[in-house]
């Protein structure tokens, strides 16, 4: 059974002679800079992929409809009339 370290005990992890709450307890709860940068990069990559995917939905090839007589493409509205 693991024993917990009291917040006001001298830090047993690094022998800094500081209280645990002011030493390694802070390090334990903080995410490293490289981890934050990795998460940010992955988030930006996924968001960019979602934006590209969603914008590509509007670019579906509708050229098969051009053969219908009397229909014209409206640049203003982005669809066939």
Distance between CA 26 and CA 35 in Å, rounded?
16
Q: What pLDDT does 44 receive? A: 93
32 against 62, higher pLDDT = 32
Joined together, the tokens standing for residue 49 give: 């992929």
Q: What is the rounded CA–CA span in Å between residue 81 and residue 61?
A: 16
pLDDT one-digit tens code per residue, 55-71:
877 765 555 555 577 78
């Amino acid at each position: 059974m693991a024993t917990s370290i009291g917040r006001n005990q001298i830090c047993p992890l690094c022998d800094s002679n500081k209280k645990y709450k002011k030493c390694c307890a802070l390090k334990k709860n903080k995410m490293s800079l490289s981890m934050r940068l990795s998460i940010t990069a992955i988030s930006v990559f996924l968001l960019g992929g979602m934006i590209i995917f969603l914008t590509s939905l509007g670019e579906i090839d509708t050229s098969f409809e051009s053969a219908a007589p009397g229909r014209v493409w409206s640049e203003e509205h982005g669809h066939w009339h």
